[in-house]
Chain A
Amino acid sequence: MEAFTEKFGIGQPVRRKEDQRLLIGGGVYTDDINIEGQVHLAFLRAPYAHARINHIDTTAAAQAPGVLAVFTGRDLEKDGVGRVESNINLKQLDGTPIFKTQRLALPTDKVRFAGEPVAMVVAETAFQAADAVELIIFDADQLPAVVTARAAGAQGAAVLHDELPDNCALHWQNDTPDAYDAVAAKAHKIVSIALTNNRVVPVPMEPKCCIAEMNPGTGRLTIYAPFQGGRRVQGAVADLLFDGERDKVRHVSDNTGGGFGTRSKIYPEIIAVCYAAKSLGRTVKWLGDRSETFVSDLHGRDQVNSAQLAFDADGKILGYRLETLVNIGAWVTENGARLAIDGGGRIVGGAYDIPVLYYSCRNMMTNTVSTDTYRGAGRPEANYIVERLMEKAAHELGIDPQELRRRNFIKTFPYTTQMGMKVDCGDFAACMDMALANSDWAGFGPRAARSQAGGKLRGIGLASFLEGAGGRPEETMRVQIQEDGSVNIICGTFSHGQGHGTVYSQIVSEKMGVPFTAIDLIQGDTDTAPAGASGTYGSRSSQMGGVAIIRACDIIIEKGKVIASHLLQADTAEVTFEAGTFSARGGSVTMAEVAKAAHDTRRLPDGLQPGLDETYHYTRDGGRDDQSFPNGCHICEVEVDPETGAVEMLAYSAADDCGTVLNPLIVHGQVHGGVAQGIGQALCEHTVYDEETGQLLTGSFMDYGMPRAHHLSHMAAEFNPIPSTNNELGVKGAGEAGCCGAPPAFVNAVLDALSSLGVKHLDMPLTPNNIWRAIHQAKAEGETH
Chain B
Amino acid sequence: MYEFNYHRPKTLDEASRTTKEAEDGQVLAGGMTMIPSMKLRLASPSDLVDLADIDGLKGITIGPDTVTIGAMTRHHDVHTSPDVQKAIPALAALAGGIGDPSVRHRGTIGGSVANSDPAADYPAAVLGLDATVETNTRKIAADDFFTGLFETALESGEIITAVHFKIPDAAAYMKFPQPASGFAMVGAFVAKFGGEFRLAVTGAKDCVFRMTEMEQALAANFSADAVAEITIAEDDLLADIHCGADYRAHLVTVMAKRAVALAAG
Contacts and interface: CB of A to CB of B under 8 A. Distances in A.
B236 to A, nearest CB: 19
B180 interface: yes
A644 B241 contact: no
Contacts of A706: 180
Nearest to A767: B179
Interface string A748-770: 00000000000000000001110
A131 interface: yes
Nearest to A688: B241
Contacts of B3: 127
Contact of B247 (A289, A697, A772): A772
Given A684-B180, A702-B181, A769 B254 contact: no
A697 B250 contact: no
Contact of B250 (A130, A703, A772): A772
A697 B239 CA distance: 14
A644 B2 contact: no
Given A127-B3, A131-B2, A773-B247, A768 B180 contact: no
A703 B247 contact: no
B181 A697 contact: no
Contacts of A289: 39
B243 interface: yes
B243 to A, nearest CB: 5
A643 B180 contact: no
A706 B182 CA distance: 11
Interface in A694-710: 697-698, 701-706
Interface in B1-54: 1-3, 39-41
Interface in A118-164: 127, 130-131
A130 B44 CA distance: 14
B176 A768 contact: yes
A688 B241 CA distance: 8
A703 B2 contact: no
B244 interface: yes
B40 A768 contact: no
B247 A684 contact: no
A619 interface: no
B251 interface: yes
A289 B42 CA distance: 14
B86 interface: no
A203 to B, nearest CB: 12
Contacts of A704: 180
SS class of chain A's interface: helix, strand, loop or mixed?
loop
Contacts of A703: 180-181, 241-242
Contacts of A697: 241
B176 A646 contact: yes
A291 interface: yes
Nearest to B100: A708
Interface string B207-244: 00000000000000000000000000000000001111
Given A127-B1, A291-B40, A698-B241, A769 B180 contact: no
Interface residues of B, number: 20
A697 B1 CA distance: 22
A289 B176 CA distance: 30
Contacts of B183: 702
A457 to B, nearest CB: 16
Contacts of B2: 131
A768 B181 CA distance: 14
Given A127-B1, A127-B3, A772-B247, A644 B176 contact: yes
Contact of B180 (A702, A772, A773): A702
B200 to A, nearest CB: 19
A131 B1 CA distance: 9
A769 B176 contact: no
Contact of B242 (A131, A769, A773): A769
Contacts of B244: 769, 773
Interface string A676-690: 000000011010100
A704 B181 CA distance: 8
Interface in B160-201: 176, 179-181, 183, 185
Contacts of B247: 645, 768-769, 772-773
Contacts of A769: 242-244, 247
Interface in A158-215: none
A561 to B, nearest CB: 59
A130 B3 CA distance: 11
B201 to A, nearest CB: 15
A697 to B, nearest CB: 6
Nearest to A690: B241
A472 to B, nearest CB: 36
With a 10 A CB-CB cut-off, give which of B183, B242, B254 has the most chain A CB atoms.
B242
Contacts of B254: 643-644
Contacts of B39: 289
A550 B176 CA distance: 54
A644 B251 contact: yes
A704 B178 CA distance: 10
A777 to B, nearest CB: 12
A15 B181 CA distance: 34
A701 B176 contact: no
With a 10 A CB-CB cut-off, give which of B2, B39, B40, B179 has the most chain A CB atoms.
B179
A216 B176 CA distance: 59
B77 to A, nearest CB: 23
Contacts of B40: 291
A705 B183 CA distance: 12
Contacts of A768: 176, 179, 185, 243, 247
Contacts of B179: 683-684, 705, 767-768
A769 B241 CA distance: 9
B250 A705 contact: no
With a 10 A CB-CB cut-off, give which of A131, A768, A773 has the most chain B CB atoms.
A768
A768 B176 CA distance: 10
Contacts of A291: 40
A529 to B, nearest CB: 37
B187 to A, nearest CB: 13
A683 B179 CA distance: 9
Interface string A236-251: 0000000000000000
A127 B44 CA distance: 14
A701 B243 contact: no
A705 B176 contact: no
A254 B226 CA distance: 63
A406 B33 CA distance: 54
Contact of A701 (B180, B185, B241, B251): B180
Contacts of A645: 247
A705 B241 contact: no
Contacts of B250: 772
Interface in A414-437: none
A291 B36 CA distance: 12
A704 B243 CA distance: 14
Interface in B55-91: none
A715 B131 CA distance: 45
Interface string A631-647: 00000000000011110
A643 B244 CA distance: 15
With a 10 A CB-CB cut-off, give which of B39, B40, B183, B247 has the most chain A CB atoms.
B247
A644 B1 CA distance: 39
A290 to B, nearest CB: 9
Contacts of A643: 254
B175 to A, nearest CB: 11
A767 B251 CA distance: 14
With a 10 A CB-CB cut-off, give which of B39, B180, B244, B247 has the most chain A CB atoms.
B180
Given A127-B1, A684-B179, 9 more contacts: A289-B39, A644-B251, A646-B176, A697-B241, A702-B180, A703-B241, A767-B242, A772-B250, A773-B244
15 contacts: A127-B3, A289-B39, A291-B40, A644-B254, A683-B179, A701-B180, A701-B181, A703-B180, A705-B180, A768-B176, A768-B185, A768-B243, A768-B247, A769-B242, A772-B250
Q: Which 6 A-B pairs have CB atoms at the shortest separation, nearest pair first?
A: A705-B180, A702-B181, A705-B179, A684-B179, A703-B180, A688-B241
